[in-house]
Amino acid sequence: MKDGVYMIPAVHWERRLFDSLIPLPDGTSYNAYLVEGSEKTALIDTVDPMKAEFLMEQLKDVKRLDYIVANHAEQDHSGCISLVLEKYPEAKVFATPKAKPMLMDLLLIPEDKIITVEDGETLSLGDKTLRFIHAPWVHWPETMFTYLEEDKILFTCDFLGSHLATSEMYATDECRVYEAAKRYYSEIMMPFRTSIQKNLDKLKDLTIDIIAPSHGPAYNKPEFIINAYHSWVFDEPGNIAVIPFVSMHGSVKKMVEHLEGALKERGVIVKPFDLTVTDLGQLAMALVDAATVVIGTPAVLAGAHPDAIYATYLANALRPKAKFISIIGSYSWGSKAIDQLSGLLANLKAEVIPPVFIKGFPKEADFKALENLAETIAQKHRENNLK
């Protein structure tokens, strides 16, 4: 990347699921970085244990390693620390005070191997200096960034990264990287928006030539990803309604189609997601900008459909900036779906618009109720000047 600074990207082209939860349509990478100073050498983060062999092969000509920086304790970055320590028994691990017990618990790293660093503390490698910047809650409590002062490189680990397998060191195809980074933000970072705002503010005082995350390509035009994060984190939501729904016999589908048409007529952008075929990453990305979320469900076993429950739980956990929420659905003989779904939405600071929950296939009065719902949504978007 620069003299004495190397990216070690373990590209995982074929991985399709992360944390047994998150779809990876574009694969991912785990980037470690090697920084060689005139006196000391440091490895910044490691890689997922699934790529341990690759990492050790890359290190085979590195005779001496003095420091391992653990910006984050999650195993896709810290999981090879023990292996690296076996090869370099003299090396010490640098981490935040909160990361230390996590590294001991998760990876069984001996306590005396770990040195804790305070916010702003520096570590000299001779002609290169690492500065540690505490950045809690992106996306665990112990996270930090490492800033290489002389080369103006900021190593951010998960923050500003993307699940994108690529052989390019830098984000050259910005459209593709933007989509992958937004997907990553929506799935991993969005619940911690307030902390991200504070951590973005912390970067204002740094001169940054390169942002080097530990997933996806690095950024030699840092403003590209910083500006994208600013808009995702700080901007008002758009004039957009997201409708995650499930339909069993067509009634809810008909309701969604009618609501979709009524919203469009009123100038609202609509994004329906049939949950039986939805990539949850696409839904999460749509939630980044949506002002309104309307969940559609049929009644199953007197409650909501399990797919609708899952999507509602996820929307609540991701804490999007939606301002309005509602539920539509259909039942045959009875349902507690409204109570059930409402109870899952406690995290969303959204105004609840009265649901439209009907018996059987929608009829004239039901279509009218859906048009009224569309009108209420459009009016609230106008009142809030959402664009």
The binding site for ligand FEO (CB under 6 A) comprises 72, 74, 76-77, 139, 158, 215
Give the residue with the Cβ less far from ligand FEO, 4 or 216: 216
Do 149 and 207 contact (CB within 8 A), yes or no?
no
Contacts of 203 (CB under 8 A, 6+ apart): 154, 226
CA separation for the pair 351, 340 (Å, rounded): 17
- Minimal distance, residue 128 CB to ligand FEO, in Å: 25
Give residue number: closest CB to ligand FEO: 74
Give me the residues paired with residue 303 across strands. 300
SS3 label, residue 116: strand
- Minimal distance, residue 144 CB to ligand FEO, in Å: 13
Residue owning tokens 């059987």: 360
Do 370 and 329 contact (CB within 8 A), yes or no?
no
The CA distances from residue 293 to 187, 297, 312, 354, 355, in Å, are: 17, 13, 10, 13, 12
Give the residue with the Cβ less far from ligand FEO, 128 or 215: 215
Give the residue with the Cβ less far from ligand FEO, 30 or 232: 30
- Minimal distance, residue 192 CB to ligand FEO, in Å: 11
Give the residue with the Cβ less far from ligand FEO, 12 or 266: 12
- Minimal distance, residue 290 CB to ligand FEO, in Å: 25
CA separation for the pair 121, 67 (Å, rounded): 15
Dihedral sign of CA atoms 279, 21, 97, 107 in order: negative
Tokens of 225: 């990803």
- Minimal distance, residue 99 CB to ligand FEO, in Å: 12
- Minimal distance, residue 54 CB to ligand FEO, in Å: 16
Give the residue with the Cβ less far from ligand FEO, 141 or 261: 141
Give the residue with the Cβ less far from ligand FEO, 158 or 289: 158
CA separation for the pair 52, 81 (Å, rounded): 10
